[in-house]
Structure 1
């Protein structure tokens, strides 16, 4: 696999750690919360964590931080595993869960209480917010902060036994309510949640917070480099405080890098869920979604996504990345690897009046202009064909290089033809065009010496196949749809999906399998839909145009 961990500050840290002997084996982890599908930002984090481990001969764990069961589900767990594997990575050993460590974490909570470093607090949410203070004012000690060790142990046991209502008590670390870092003002370690957990069932009615569980899970697993995005930088002092305060067997270190924020995109799980819940999109894997499964269904390749993550680098600063960089990586990959085919989105029938009605020629065409290994495909040529309606005009200026009455044009990989007449209905709409072939023009150099002005795509009317084409565009028409006071729903692109029900495609596309990419000549890159495509009902999703023509 291509190394996606080249030249970044994290690699420099690891190189120094290995050279100094601080670590002998690099162990990283990817710790998603199973409360939604992975998105492009997670793809970056995956490439960093798995890429660094791979580049340094180490290992990377996949661990679900499942400490908030109300919002989690098995569906998300399965989708995350599938996404990591599709991107081309394998985790070390078995899949891990924070819930597997609940017993040990609870024992460590008892240890903190015994050491006088944690206490049970009865403040409700509003009171706790008031006592916490502000960014400019110190917090106030909870009136329950000085409970005895014995009372705290008894209350914590009661919390675990389900004796108290949700929200009535929490376990808090005893650190410093005057700390300038809000995360150090006696943060919550455990809260009561009387809900069924997708892994542990009803074994627990109290659950550790992410801040309490995170570092300890890293320590249990022997993680050497706990790599997070920058929003966790202010949490690092708490991470270190807990590691130093507990009898853990290893000392992981946390490092932060700038998160990926592509333009014209939102990556908030809450907002992505809103798009799903309000039926703005058709599920988490809608091809307009920035989720990994959405990008997969759109026809993006794992190699292109990894290439994009490598292109943007790994730095210590947040910033908006132009989504055009991702689109460039997608086009570059598909241009090299996608077989060519022909499709007509807006069909107009052309009758070749000189061509025998009962004749069919099987013409051969390369599947790719520079990839001989992809072989050839057969194009049946018949008397009646379809071209795109935009490729014909009765009259046109010299800049128009398609089919015009009295002018010639080449059919891609077939004959040169000349248009003779247009057949119209009573309203003046063109129903079909009559034309004739120019003999001996199957090659690129017609024997009559007259070269056509242009080349257009076509499909046999009798041997071609109807197909549904879903034309996708960016979901938002604003560069920063959720920045500041923006209501991201106000910036939805009304033309993000257009469905062409009666397109015509060359018959070779009946052999396409789901998730197979193609370049439909002059139309863009398409992929056979992962779920809906079949030989009986061909369905292709537009991945991206041949060039950037989006004017958002």
Structure 2
């Protein structure tokens, strides 16, 4: 199966994805063939302790995309084993984000929605089995002792003095831990993968912790438990209980794979799972320039008031990208283009913005907006009259029809469309000089006009430009061809234009890797990441509804803000510019 056989977001050429080669080989070999079960079952296992970001989108697209393309299924599983940091709010937003991206954990009328906390009873039962078979023990060292005896990458660890604690003693203490008889940190349950595990060159093999004591309220199980399983223990067990075939993790979990394999094989030997057991594969996480994706740092941006919230359109969170105006299709296209590899690297933000432009260009209706308005007065146009002008809703979709807007005596144009002393190659409005007439410019979809003068205020700022129009030059009429002009600018009628708040968003950071090398990422914040202007839009834009996207001609792609837009009074966010001019 090619990489893009069933992927509607795929580009012209399949992207590099080593995981698909693994799946193809497994299918050919029948590695995960089981009666009545798909041969590809993946999972997306977020911890509900924050909002998902663009890096999680890569994992979502990979796991759900594989299940879709290979007629399998993907589970959504919440790794809710850390009660002090988790909340139902995060559960809700994660579910909403996955659905918004275009994926579902439902198949054949069954919802494959799971929580690690669903397995707390089974996890405990398996932990007792590991103790009884001599593969786990209760360690009563202090945290300081445990850290010291763990060693480091160049020094083997030292066995805990409790490592050979009798099985019945460990079992009783573990049960007393569950019963709430000990304080946080008094004991830890640790695995014993082998007799010389503490000498392993892989640090995560050195008697990894399985359970710790936490007297904390859990958002689902309440106060039923005061011991909670560690992620490295919970994750492989959950995979096996759910019959996951391909457990896909980012590269930082590569050293954890030996424990993953040992645990599922050991528990399969104990009759807890049927074979074949899941297999873990690691891929490079998404490193995107001009953003930070650390949950801690994103939370700091929110808590410090640098941004307005998790859904601030400058944030790389999925809720932020959604509010900014990104589409699910553009994010899927981006993830397909960058592929999946085992090599760490950086993806330029321009790749994400390019995917967005490619997605929006064929489907975003066109509109005219004047973002930095300057009054244009057509002296020889009759006061109170209006001539109807029109243009296509989309230049490549004639079936979408035309939009209409009036040409009146007073118009709005962009401030940059007039220059008192023109630079070389400037073809917009310039005033008469030394008896020579002012420049002629076509008002797009309207008439050719000639500049006759301008007004300035006491500070020297241009406040109005004056022109005369040529009645036989209207676009779309035979006379239009009689006028050859180089300038062609956008405009809206001052009498009918919609006044609207427009937020011009840009990248949040000025440096490609704002937090590299442990530097203060906030020092790289872009002070111009948001500019709010009062703009004038063609009158039909008053009917724009939340989340509706447009191309504002010459300016870029914009969306009606999903939070602040009101009926008849939309607020617009710039999603991206028409071209990538960042740093150029």
| More displaced 10-residue stretch of structure 1: 188-197 or 533-542 | 533-542
Deviations along 1:107-166, whole A, 9 cap, x unmatched?
111111111111111122221100100101111111111111111111111111111111
Contact 1:50 1:59 in 2 (8 A): yes
State the shift of 1:7 in Å.
5.3
Out of 2, 14, 17, which is 2:8 matched to? 2
Describe the shift of the 1:453–1:483 C-alpha distance in structure 2 as closer, same or farther (beyond 3 A). same
**2: distance between equivalents of 1:448 and 1:314?**
53
Q: Corresponding residue for 1:203? A: 224
Contact 2:545 2:570 in 1 (8 A): no
| More displaced 10-residue stretch of structure 1: 165-174 or 447-456 | 447-456
Unaligned 5+ residue runs, structure 1?
A: none
Out of 164, 169, 172, which is 1:146 matched to? 164
Out of 429, 433, 450, which is 1:418 matched to? 450
1:127 corresponds to 2:145: yes
Contact 2:61 2:332 in 1 (8 A): yes
Matches within 5 A, 1:288-307: 288-307=314-333
| TM-score normalised over the length of structure 2 | 0.92
1:170 corresponds to 2:185: no
State the shift of 1:429 in Å.
2.5
**1: distance between equivalents of 2:29 and 2:378?**
77
1:450 corresponds to 2:497: no
Q: Corresponding residue for 2:259? A: 238
Out of 20, 25, 39, which is 2:29 matched to? 20
1:408 corresponds to 2:414: no
| More displaced 10-residue stretch of structure 1: 96-105 or 139-148 | 139-148
1:261 corresponds to 2:293: no
State the secondary structure of the residue aligned to 2:554: coil
| More displaced 10-residue stretch of structure 1: 93-102 or 243-252 | 243-252
Unaligned 5+ residue runs, structure 2?
A: 1-6, 34-38, 432-437
Q: Corresponding residue for 2:36? A: none
State the shift of 1:398 in Å.
5.1
Q: Corresponding residue for 1:527? A: 559
Matches within 5 A, 1:55-134: 55-92=69-106, 93-134=111-152
| More displaced 10-residue stretch of structure 1: 246-255 or 226-235 | 246-255
Q: Corresponding residue for 1:481? A: 514
| TM-score normalised over the length of structure 1 | 0.97
Q: Corresponding residue for 2:205? A: 184
Contact 2:9 2:333 in 1 (8 A): no
1:225 corresponds to 2:257: no
**1: distance between equivalents of 2:461 and 2:200?**
76
Out of 350, 356, 365, which is 1:330 matched to? 356
Out of 399, 413, 435, which is 2:467 matched to? 435
Deviations along 1:220-279, whole A, 9 cap, x unmatched?
100000011111100000101111121322400001111111112211111111111111
Contact 2:429 2:440 in 1 (8 A): yes
State the secondary structure of the residue aligned to 2:499: strand
**2: distance between equivalents of 1:264 and 1:431?**
38
State the shift of 1:454 in Å.
1.1
Describe the shift of the 1:464–1:535 C-alpha distance in structure 2 as closer, same or farther (beyond 3 A). farther
State the shift of 1:447 in Å.
4.6
Deviations along 1:161-185, whole A, 9 cap, x unmatched?
1111111111111231111111011
Contact 2:246 2:281 in 1 (8 A): yes
Contact 2:550 2:558 in 1 (8 A): yes
Aligned residues: 551
Contact 1:216 1:248 in 2 (8 A): no
Contact 1:190 1:208 in 2 (8 A): yes
Describe the shift of the 1:447–1:376 C-alpha distance in structure 2 as closer, same or farther (beyond 3 A). closer
| More displaced 10-residue stretch of structure 1: 243-252 or 103-112 | 243-252
Contact 1:466 1:538 in 2 (8 A): no
1:459 corresponds to 2:492: yes
State the shift of 1:536 in Å.
4.0
Please provide the CA RMSD for this pair. 1.6
**2: distance between equivalents of 1:17 and 1:7?**
18
**2: distance between equivalents of 1:45 and 1:110?**
33
Q: Corresponding residue for 2:502? A: 469
State the shift of 1:490 in Å.
1.3
State the shift of 1:532 in Å.
0.7
**2: distance between equivalents of 1:448 and 1:264?**
47
State the shift of 1:374 in Å.
2.9
1:38 corresponds to 2:44: no
**2: distance between equivalents of 1:207 and 1:447?**
77
Describe the shift of the 1:450–1:442 C-alpha distance in structure 2 as closer, same or farther (beyond 3 A). closer
**1: distance between equivalents of 2:423 and 2:285?**
51
Describe the shift of the 1:236–1:360 C-alpha distance in structure 2 as closer, same or farther (beyond 3 A). same
State the secondary structure of the residue aligned to 1:469: strand
